[in-house]
Structure 1
């Protein structure tokens, strides 16, 4: 699939237009993402617009980026009220915690989620909580109570409230699933999930973090940058490369190189959450990645860790030699490290 570049709209960059990382054909740059059959939406194909507006000023380009709904600037300009959590189904309890399917509101949509709450005396101020962000699962196949059971159980057993959002368009949640990269919807759902946890009297609103796997790793990083009240994030095999790298280097097809002109590369770099790591302001990030990950390259973690350090941010990065996208060979060790990370930082 070739990218579509509307030259007329691209020329509007100097004024009110923008180059958009989007799936809408009417916008200047279309970067279509296709779901991999294994675990993640995979590579975009990009055809550049060589020679067009290469000298666009940084000020104009930043203004263009801010107009894109997926940008950090646009996300920060929105409100995330969340809602009270409504119980939809009570499930069998875990070892020391209850489990329920609940729902919350996100942009007027009912989003289902899996909630765990520790048993026992409520700590002063409430339980610490983790917004749990899953990776790509075909939305029509997704079920609230399936996948990531062992992962969520590890945090629930350790005394954390956890809330695993379905995201819009998944399972029985309302809305349309537009993907985690070209559309802001899933990020909005994550931020409203965090806001909904803050409304729960059992949760300490000052002790909320995020766990994210694969696509959920990018959603978690965005949410951390947008909402300064979120204290820490543990990212597993995260799709956290800069957007220009995702557009050209993620799972390249042999003999079919993808290129970006200088303007679109600058634009995608500024659109990426990686350009705003300083806004974490020292809030801790933990990274986990296997070197034999066939879905998301280990290089994504290495580069993000370097970027975090260069931005003056603390990072705790773990490499699992030979392990896969789900860290199957080191699952218990990685979960234990994540639990200790949240016990320290929430």
Structure 2
């Protein structure tokens, strides 16, 4: 008997800072647990959304010339925030997708080393292209945390990449900045609370659409992240509505970055934690109460315009199941077309991997 799946649906109402504990590497599959957990559960309180700073367009009722008003002073967003990201990246500049050496060739697909441009950085990755003329739907893969010092090109979602390509999807695995052959430094990525990873995956979608060498259906491009990459996916959809046509998160970290900091970074009290405390403030501190919502996806879920699938194991001992429930509840409350599917499995997805992939592919084919 296969792993049991429990599904939570949210009706369509309208339109990480993560340390080494949350890895999406190609680990050995977890043992199948023997019991399921109820899929229902109330979402936790999300950080308060920022008030709108749009000036009023309301006309004066006076027939004479309206008195002059002081110009509206708009506060510039913190440079390390989602607001600053989507203020600075309205035009996605990803491009320059280049295919390198062939890594693998099967009857179903060919796998290449690849690079593309993300801002002024060159990002490496692995690209699987199905056999045939296309155009094909595409999926960008955002992997979980793996120490950049040991990470190698394409590590973390090898299984997913192969299955997607064998089912007719172009699959581009992104090596975030400072990973493998990608430009950038790990220190800067951490100081920016990994918002640069958001830029890298958004620019990956633009690079695929602009490529003359890869037959991509421009109207069907999805973002699929696992663990830390699930958080990257949620932040990307919130920061850049329209960049993707659907989002999938497996075993995702929290959509609140203070949760992720407290779970993975704060206990180590390392240089990253010390820098964050000094520059931004710890969660709950006076400065931190403004900073952490500003870099989190959840307060900006009302910007998400794409359908979202969250997949989580009921026995996940790395990213708590409650995080998935809370994110699903917040997506639902924001009017996002979202689904939460639960499987009797752990963080790495062992027995449930192929059933979960079948359901993920069915979601992508239906929603894109």
Please confirm whether the aligned pair reaches a TM-score higher than 0.5, indicating the same fold. Answer: yes
| Pairs within 5 Å for 1:255-270 | 260-261=284-285, 264-270=288-294
Aligned counterpart in structure 2 of residue 205 of structure 1, from 211, 214, 218: 218
C-alpha contact 1:97 1:117 (8 A) present in aligned 2: yes
| Distance in 1 separating the partners of 2:123 and 2:263 | 33
Per-residue displacement from partner, 1:76-123 (whole Å, max 9, x unpaired)? 42242112211221122134111100111122222111111111232x
Cα deviation for residue 142 of structure 1 reads: 1.3
* Structure 2: gaps spanning 5 or more residues: 1-15, 25-49, 54-73, 268-281
| Distance in 1 separating the partners of 2:75 and 2:194 | 16
Aligned counterpart in structure 2 of residue 141 of structure 1, from 147, 150, 160: 150
Pair 1:34–1:80, CA change in 2 (3 A): closer
Pair 1:311–1:180, CA change in 2 (3 A): farther
Cα deviation for residue 74 of structure 1 reads: 2.7
- Whether 1:242 aligns to 2:256 is yes
Please name the residue that 2:175 is paired with.
166
Please name the residue that 2:66 is paired with.
none
Name segments (4+ residues, structure 1) moved above 6 Å.
none
Q: TM-score when scaled to structure 1? A: 0.75
Pair 1:38–1:59, CA change in 2 (3 A): closer
Q: TM-score when scaled to structure 2? A: 0.71
| Distance in 2 separating the partners of 1:296 and 1:334 | 17
RMSD: 2.8
Cα deviation for residue 295 of structure 1 reads: 1.6
Aligned counterpart in structure 1 of residue 116 of structure 2, from 100, 104, 109: 104
Pair 1:325–1:181, CA change in 2 (3 A): farther
Pair 1:222–1:87, CA change in 2 (3 A): same
Per-residue displacement from partner, 1:1-27 (whole Å, max 9, x unpaired)? xxxxxxxxxxxxxxxxxxxx9xxxxxx
Larger RCO (CA within 8 A; separation ≥ 6): 2
Per-residue displacement from partner, 1:122-166 (whole Å, max 9, x unpaired)? 2xxx21111111111111211124432211111111111111111
- Whether 1:309 aligns to 2:320 is no
Please name the residue that 1:48 is paired with.
none
| Distance in 1 separating the partners of 2:315 and 2:192 | 23
C-alpha contact 1:180 1:187 (8 A) present in aligned 2: no
| Distance in 1 separating the partners of 2:356 and 2:52 | 42
C-alpha contact 1:85 1:102 (8 A) present in aligned 2: yes
| Distance in 2 separating the partners of 1:305 and 1:229 | 21
Cα deviation for residue 303 of structure 1 reads: 0.1
Pair 1:337–1:172, CA change in 2 (3 A): same
Q: Is the radius of gyration larger for structure 1 or structure 2?
A: 2
Cα deviation for residue 180 of structure 1 reads: 9.4
Count, aligned residues: 290
Pair 1:77–1:37, CA change in 2 (3 A): closer
| Pairs within 5 Å for 1:1-346 | 35-36=19-20, 39=23, 66-78=77-89, 79-122=91-134, 126-177=135-186, 178-179=189-190, 182-201=193-212, 202-225=215-238, 226-248=240-262, 260-261=284-285, 264-281=288-305, 283-321=306-344, 323-346=345-368
> Residue 248 of structure 2: SS of its match in structure 1?
strand
Cα deviation for residue 189 of structure 1 reads: 1.1
